[in-house]
Amino acid sequence: MSEKRFLPRGVYTALVTPFRDGELDKPAWERLVARQVEAGVAGLVPVGCTGEAAALDRAEREWLVRACVSAARGRCAVVAGAGSNVTRTTIAQTRDAAAWGADAAMLISPYYNKPQQHGLIAHYGAVAREVDLPLVLYNVPGRTAVNILPATVRALAAEPNVVAVKEASGNLEQIAEVCGIADLQVFSGDDGLNLDVYALGGAGTVSVVSNLLPRTVVRTWDAWRAGEATRARALAEAVRPVVEACFRETNPVPAKELLSLMGLCTHDLRLPLVPALPENRVWLREVHAGPLGALLDGEGT
């Protein structure tokens, strides 16, 4: 087995980016990040899909990543989103992530272009060879229109800097095959499938729901790792209504609405994303008052 700089196993939070009046809400970011670190997450994932990375400029990305690194102070890993649908841009953004102090970079597969599988190998391979930083492949065909197939992941796992994949294909048969690839960590990219991926040998989750319930998501992972499957399943079942809520509309729209109800940030987004529909906002308020509120009692918030 090659010497790879693998990531700590556990829960990674795909952080939302808080805005106020069209600009970064820096105090809210610092509160959100501190809450995650105090909850004991294994890692933070700033400026990814959940963080509306495509709507951020380079200066904003730099501030967000550096603030994350400063808050983490080595207590958890920082895996910065750095992907784009242009290879040279992905290389530049991955270099930025390294320069700003990130421990690794997460690279969404190129979207819109619809590269072939050998194009994906060429794309990720170029980044892996150009930037000396651990890389996490991000497979989310629902957003990109391209599925990184297991054979492609297997080929890329030979790259020393490719250490993990965030699997959000929703296909458990495919995820099981990817989990069988040597020298590669697999993280769940779908909160509803976390326990399934853990059971397949997954290294943890990159979670949206942990924006809201970091301690609960961490406890679920800890219970599974300790062999307490019944407790892990009970926790996952309690969280299930919140998982469903977070994907009622396009992520991160519902998560931001719920965080706003919790008083942690506004529900502001950047166009083309807009706040939740009125009927969904009513439903999200009910979730906040019901299942989410019950779980927040155990979060210390």
> Would 123 be classed as within a structural domain?
yes
Q: What is the domain-level CATH number for residue 187? A: 3.20.20.70
Is the peptide bond prior to 252 cis by the omega test (within 30 degrees of 0)?
Answer: yes
Total H helices, total E strands in the chain:
13, 10
- For residues 181 and 173, the answer to whether their CB atoms sit within 8 Å is no
Read off the pLDDT band of 3 (50, 70, 90). Answer: confident
> Would 271 be classed as within a structural domain?
no
- State yes or no: pLDDT of 2 exceeds 70: no
What local confidence, expressed as pLDDT, does residue 1 receive? 39
> Would 30 be classed as within a structural domain?
yes
- State yes or no: pLDDT of 167 exceeds 50: yes
Of 4, 26, 114, 138, which is the active-site residue? 138
- State yes or no: pLDDT of 88 exceeds 70: yes
Q: Report residue 7 CA to chain centroid gap.
A: 14
> Would 131 be classed as within a structural domain?
yes
> Would 267 be classed as within a structural domain?
no
For 152-157, what is the mean pLDDT? 98
Give me the domain span that covers residue 166.
10-226
- For residues 113 and 85, the answer to whether their CB atoms sit within 8 Å is yes
Amino acid in position 1? M
Of 124, 166, 198, 256, which is the active-site residue? 166
Distance CA(161)–CA(92), nearest Å, equals 16
Question: Does the annotation mark 112 as catalytic?
Answer: no
Give the count of domains, the chain. Answer: 1
Q: pLDDT tens, 10-61?
A: 999 999 999 999 999 999 999 999 999 999 999 999 999 999 999 999 999 9
Distance CA(104)–CA(292), nearest Å, equals 31
> Would 245 be classed as within a structural domain?
no
DSSP state of 101: T
Question: Does the annotation mark 114 as catalytic?
Answer: no
**For the chain, how many residues are written?**
301
Residue 253, classed as helix, strand or coil, is helix
> Would 110 be classed as within a structural domain?
yes
DSSP state of 9: S
> Would 278 be classed as within a structural domain?
no
Q: Tell me the H-state helices in 108-166.
A: 117-130, 141-144, 150-156
